[in-house]
Amino acid sequence: MAVSPDSETPHQVLIVGAGLGGLTAARKLAARGIEVLLIDRNNYHQFQPLIYQVATAQLGMRDVARPLRAIFRKERAVTVKTGEVASIDPVARTVTTSDGVTYRGRILVIAAGAEVNFFNVPGAQDNSFPLYSVDDAARLRSRFLGALDAADRDRRYVERGALNVVIVGGGATGVETAGAVAESMREVVPTYLPDDLARAGRVYLVDMLPDVLMPFNEKSRAYAAEKLREYGVELRLGQSVTEVRKDGVVLQDGSFIPSRTVVWAGGLKARGVLSGTGLPQGKGGRIDVNPDLTVPGFEGVYVLGDSANIVDAKGTKLPQLGSVAQQSGAWAAQNIVADLGGGQRTPFVYRDKGIMAMIGRGAAIAELGSRHRHIAGPVAFLAWLAVHMVLLSGLWEKLHALWNWAWDYGTRRRPQIIVDRPDAYAIDWSDERTPHGGASP
């Protein structure tokens, strides 16, 4: 196992994770001339809120993923390393990669985000497609295309679920994905399959809760549910998924939906790498932090964004949102500047600008400002577009995404319907006959 000379020479600040939190912290620190080592398992930053659009081929991978070295090419204070962090020692403030290289920081910032939680549902991990990274999105897109192609080859695959997409989880990710898949069924699949087959496509959204989008207010929830139904999404609410099989999904009431494309948007949990660190793990396995984003009892360690349970200066427990990650990244940077300069850290104050979700063309919901003022429909849709334009990293990415949206709206054609994951594309139809299964064509 290699031991890096890096472990001998501590970096001023060592940041694990170049998501919205880590990236923002690195940028702010670099702007103050503070030396940063930023390590991520990917050589790119990915913008999670638009990942479902990569899965449905509205956007390409490069629209939502930007190379880290390109982001920091003019920033000499930031060194980027690509590597999987396998262990973290918060006392020594070191991290060690899976190939045994150790890095040390005078200050350690953990911004590793969260990972998918299958809640121990049998078969979910093996038979469903999570949607939390661009890699997940590429796999899901290839699987969807694999199912369409199978139905096109032999129509008997339709009754075995080739044209059914089941989305598990009625939060923002599940709702946005359901809306986008339904739109694809309506507008793109007819350009791919013969008419009668295209009309056979079904989209299901399943959640154990009685309503979709629980963090939103009642008006927003009602609008979203109505629009989804209008788009042909079948809502199965108040129903938990008890098993995900390779041929479909079993629900709590014993019903079965045959499908080869099951999207898992059921929730998140803390990254596995955080356990065993000795850091205090609270709700969801996330690290409980002080209001100034440091960890109690661990000098020089900060935890941000989805990796942390943050209660801000006003005593508000903050949700796992991009805006919380970004603002906590900026705030941590400010506190680190104070640490290094002998100043005083201050407790994080979150500025709630609201929440929003896209349902489909011209249909979105937004709750604006700290009072969460409800708007819906085309105005919310335009607000959604504007906000995502601002948040996307990089001018090229913004312009390219805008071009792709305009092209999609104008032509209903999606150039990114390319199979690039043959493993996900290939569907094993060789199920044994079971009470729920169908006959092999």
Give the Cα separation of 40 and 17 in Å (integer).
5
Task: Report the nearest approach of ligand FAD to the CB of residue 307 (Å).
Answer: 6
Residue 19 as a binder of ligand FAD (CB under 6 A): the answer is: yes
Q: Where are the beta strands (DSSP E) in 224-282?
A: 233-237, 241-245, 248-251, 256-258, 261-264, 268-270
Return the residue of 124, 225, 273, 359 that touches ligand FAD, per CB under 6 A.
273
Does residue 289 belong to the site contacting ligand FAD (CB under 6 A)? no
The yes or no reply on residue 322 touching ligand FAD (CB under 6 A) is yes
Report the nearest approach of ligand FAD to the CB of residue 85 (Å). 4
Provide the mask over 118-157, with x wherever binding to ligand FAD is found by CB under 6 A and - wherever it is not. Answer: -------------xx-------------------------
Three-state DSSP class for 309?
Answer: strand
Strands (E), 227-336: 233-237, 241-245, 248-251, 256-258, 261-264, 268-270, 287-288, 294-295, 298-303, 308-309
What is d(CA 277, CA 271) in angstroms, rounded to the nearest whole number?
Answer: 11
22 near ligand FAD, rule: CB under 6 A = yes
Q: Write out the two tokens for 100.
A: 């045994």
Query: Measured from the CB atom, is 29 or 197 closer to ligand FAD?
Result: 29
- Among the listed ranges 6-14, 138-146, 318-326, 334-342, the one in contact with ligand FAD (CB under 6 A) is 318-326
For residue 161, which phi and psi values (nearest 5 degrees)? 95, 10
Q: Which stretch binds ligand FAD (CB under 6 A): 107-115, 162-170, 343-351, 364-372?
A: 107-115
Of 119 and 192, which has the nearer Cβ to ligand FAD? 119
- The residue type found at 172 is A
Q: How far is CA 341 from the centre of its chain?
A: 36
Residue 21 lies near ligand FAD (rule: CB under 6 A):
yes
Q: Which of 42, 217, 281, 290 binds ligand FAD (CB under 6 A)?
A: 42
Among 34, 51, 274, 301, binds ligand FAD (CB under 6 A): 51
In the complex with ligand FAD, the residue whose CB is nearer, 39 or 365, is 39
d(CA 353, CA 221): 19
User: Is 85 an interacting residue with respect to ligand FAD (CB under 6 A)?
Assistant: yes
Nearer to ligand FAD, 251 or 358 (CB): 358
142, 173, 294, 327: residue in contact with ligand FAD (rule CB under 6 A): 173
> Burial of 386 by CB count in 10 Å (0-12 exposed, 13-18 middle, 19+ buried)?
exposed
Q: Does 323 help bind ligand FAD (rule: CB under 6 A)?
A: yes
Q: Are strands 94-97 and 85-89 parallel, antiparallel or unpaired?
A: antiparallel
54 sits near ligand FAD (criterion: CB under 6 A): no
- By beta-carbon proximity to ligand FAD, the closer residue of 113 and 258 is 113
Q: Cβ 82 to ligand FAD, closest distance in Å?
A: 8
Question: Interface with ligand FAD includes 170 (CB under 6 A)?
Answer: no
User: DSSP code of 317?
Assistant: B
- Please list every residue from 193 through 232 that binds ligand FAD, using CB under 6 A: none
Both tokens of residue 129?
A: 């497609």
Structure tokens at 167: 């989305």
Which of these, 121, 306, 319, lies nearest to 208 by C-alpha position? 121
Q: Which residue is nearest to ligand FAD (CB)?
A: 19
Residue of 11, 29, 48, 334 interacting with ligand FAD (CB under 6 A): 48
Contact between 63 and ligand FAD by CB under 6 A: the answer reads: no
Pick the binder of ligand FAD from 128, 277, 320, 416 (CB under 6 A).
320
Query: What is the number of alpha carbons within 13 Å of residue 107 lying toward its C-beta?
Result: 26
Q: How many residues bind ligand FAD (CB under 6 A)?
A: 33
Q: Choose the stretch contacting ligand FAD; rule: CB under 6 A; options: 162-170, 214-222, 229-237, 302-310.
A: 302-310
Residue 385, both tokens: 């577009």
Active site residues: 176
3-state helix, strand, coil in the chain (%, to 5): 35, 25, 40
Contact between 14 and 108 under an 8 Å Cβ cutoff? The reply is yes
**Cα angle: 72, vertex 74, 79; to 5 degrees:** 45
Sign of dihedral through CA atoms 226, 228, 229, 231?
positive
> Using CA atoms, how far apart are residues 83 and 326, in angstroms rounded to an integer?
22
**Which residue ranges make up the site for ligand FAD (CB under 6 A)?**
16-22, 39-42, 48-49, 51, 84-85, 111-113, 131-132, 172-173, 271, 273, 305-307, 320-323, 325
